[in-house]
Amino acid sequence: MYRRIMVPVDLEHAEKLGKAIATAADLAKIYGSEISFVGVAGSAPSRVAHTYQEYCQKLNAFAAVEASRLGVAIAADPIEDHDVAVDLDARLLREAGRIGADLIVMASHMPGRLSFLGGSNAGYVAQHAAISVMIVRGGAA
């Protein structure tokens, strides 16, 4: 049913992705799917990495650890963007098309005041994606 499952990954909040990643892994085992961890990073230094190359290494390492832990194949698909805060949602949707994803499994956060004003990344992706989107609320699995 699903050939490629895209999981957006924010390495700054990796500890909150457990339930979404476990859900994607379970679906991948059922359907024989491939999983792609997609992370968007800027070229400027951040709390996660000093350079885009360092970010790529960290995303690849995270994918390898999760693949080993869950027993599924996980590829890392990093994206470099000059303004992540502005471009994140559009970049995620574009990447889903580029990698041929037919399902996005995305972690959500508990809504706060700012979410009601500006919306959430998961909400935007779910509203605008041309493919199925599963939003998983909750932290670690």
Measured from the Cβ of residue 85, the count of other Cβ atoms closer than 10 Å reads 8
- Determine the topology of domain 4-137 in CATH: Rossmann fold (3.40.50)
The residue ranking higher by pLDDT, 108 or 18, is 18
**Residue position matching structure tokens 């994140």:** 88
Quick one: pLDDT band at residue 134, thresholds 50, 70, 90?
A: very high
Rounded percentage of the chain residues whose pLDDT exceeds 90: 71
Question: What are the Cα distances from residue 35, in Å, to 24, 28, 93, 99?
Answer: 7, 7, 16, 10
pTM: 0.89
Return d(Cα 11, Cα 16) in angstroms, integer.
10
pLDDT digits (tens, 9 = 90+) for 61-71: 999 999 999 99
| Res 119: pLDDT | 52
Question: What are the Cα distances from residue 109, in Å, to 41, 63, 131?
Answer: 19, 21, 21
Domain ranges of the chain: 4-137
Return d(Cα 47, Cα 40) in angstroms, integer.
14
